[in-house]
Amino acid sequence: MTPQYWTQATQELAACDPVMHQLIEQFPDATLVSRGCAFTTLARSIVGQQISVKAAESVWQKVIGTIPEITPYTIAATEQELLRSCGLSARKVTYLHDLSRHFREGDLNETAWEDLDDESIIKQLIQVKGIGRWTAEMFLIFHLHRPDVLPLDDIGLQRAMSLHYLDKQPVDKKIMLELAKPWEPWRSVATWYLWRSLDPLPVAY
């Protein structure tokens, strides 16, 4: 499912920023897509931590080959060594089991998220082991389709901003915030196109 705001966002970004205009033209048929399952999105985000998009996809394919139906209950019931054999570190296996527990025990209330602002959802999600601000921001972008998230700690975003805006010079958070000001209220969409410019595979969680 593509966000309803996508067309409006791309039009406004293209009009206000020459780099965005170029990237949006370069990838005319590409859009952010939700997988429609909160648990799967968070699990994929944990799997994807600190590894490339390609490596994360490879590990995830092994996970779903081992556990065809990914739910909080099937993950919880899977032995640690079996998950490790998919290419997951012991730490990530622990994180996935803790995520499963939070869903099974009802600590993560999906029906409440619609009425919460971005920061409130982040505060709730980071109570899960292994979910920090970055993972929570990926969830906001990919599952909840929040339109104005700027994940300042994301290495891919840092690289892309350096490449496209600063002639490969280093960026810091202050510079990133300044560069991203014209993108408001569509910073999630701008971020997605910058990711897309680096990877042959669209980023998806």
CA pair distance 145, 153, nearest whole angstrom: 19
Please check whether residue 120 is in contact with residue 146, taking contact to mean a CB–CB distance below 8 angstroms: no
From the candidates 153, 154, 167, 172, give the one annotated as an active-site residue: 154
Burial (0-12, 13-18, 19+ Cβ within 10 Å), 138: buried
CA pair distance 122, 138, nearest whole angstrom: 10
Name the residue among 108, 80, 105 with its Cα closest to residue 94: 80
Indicate if 154 belongs to the active site.
Answer: yes
Which residues are identified as catalytic?
A: 154
